[in-house]
Copies of this chain bind each other. A is one copy, B any other.
Amino acid sequence: MSIVAVGSIAFDTVSSPSGRVEGVLAGALTYFAIAASYFTQVRLVAVVGEDFGPEHEALFKRHRIDIRGVEHAKGKTFRWGGHYLENLNEAKTDFTELNVFENFQPRIPAVYQDSQFLFLANIHPNLQAQVRRQMNHVQLTGGDTMNYWINRTLQELSETLKLINILLINDTETKMLAHDASLPRAARKVLAMGPQVLVVKHGEYGATVFFREGTFGTHPFRAPALPIEEVKDPTGAGDSFAGGFMGYIASQEQLNREVLKRALFYGGVMGSFAVEEFGTDRLQSLTREEIDARFQIFRELTHLE
- By a beta-carbon cutoff of 8 Å, the part of chain A in contact with chain B is 86-88, 181-185, 187, 202, 204-206, 208, 219-224, 227-231, 258, 261-262, 265, 297, 299-305
Distance (Å) between the CB of A225 and the closest chain B CB? Answer: 9
Q: Are B304 and A229 closer than 8 Å at their CB atoms?
A: no
Q: Are B300 and A230 closer than 8 Å at their CB atoms?
A: no
Q: Are B300 and A219 closer than 8 Å at their CB atoms?
A: yes
Q: Are B303 and A182 closer than 8 Å at their CB atoms?
A: no
Give bound CA distance, A43 to B88, whole Å: 43
List the B residue with the shortest CB-CB distance to A217: B300
| Oligomer copy total | 2
Give the chain B neighbours of A183 by CB distance below 8 A. Answer: 204, 227
Using A258-B304, A262-B304 as known contacts, list a sample of 4 further A-B pairs with CB atoms less than 8 Å apart, ordered by residue number in A: A184-B229, A205-B205, A222-B224, A303-B304
Knowing A181-B86, A181-B88, A205-B206 are in contact, say whether A303-B305 is a contact too (CB < 8 A). Answer: no
24 sample A-B contacts, Cβ–Cβ < 8 Å, listed by A number: A87-B181, A88-B181, A182-B230, A182-B231, A183-B227, A184-B227, A184-B228, A184-B229, A185-B229, A187-B227, A206-B222, A219-B297, A219-B301, A220-B227, A222-B224, A222-B302, A223-B302, A224-B302, A258-B304, A258-B305, A261-B305, A265-B304, A302-B302, A302-B303
